Amino acid sequence: MGSLQDSDLLTDTKIAIKSLVISSPLGISLTKLCRDFEDIEGKEVPYKELGFDTLTALLKSMTDMVRPIFDANQSVTLFPVVDDSTAHITDLVANQSTKRLRARSAKQTDDIAVDAADTGRRV
């Protein structure tokens, strides 16, 4: 580490991780963080490129961005470190509805398919 490019990579990685953590009102697991990071950034979290042996070591070094909480099984849930620049975002996320849309029942799905077939539309 030490080069300008490494510094940019660290900064970009920290920003991406903090964004993912802030967007999860109940915290985010390590597994979900890794999956979401790869979905958004198109690559795995580059902790080795940044000189860390493990992802957990990288996260523990990010005391200004995230707060890892370990449960009895040593599973990690990450929470954002809230400061003046992120307090309003954290409040918005905390107050958002977490209700999920209920899946359509088989009957509703069948009814839609029949209606579509009657009108010649694709579902």
- Domains located in the chain, CATH noted: 4-97 (3.30.420.610)
Reported as a pLDDT band with limits 50, 70 and 90, residue 109 is very low
User: What is the tens place of the pLDDT at every residue in 10-59?
Assistant: 999 998 998 898 888 788 999 999 999 999 999 999 999 999 999 989 99
Higher pLDDT, 11 or 75: 11
Reported as a pLDDT band with limits 50, 70 and 90, residue 89 is low
Spatial neighbors of 51 by CB under 8 A, at least 6 apart, are 1, 6
- For the beta sheet containing 28-29, the strands, ordered from the edge strand earlier in sequence to the opposite edge, are 28-29, 76-80, 66-70
In the block, residue with structure tokens 């950034």: 41
pTM over 0.75: no
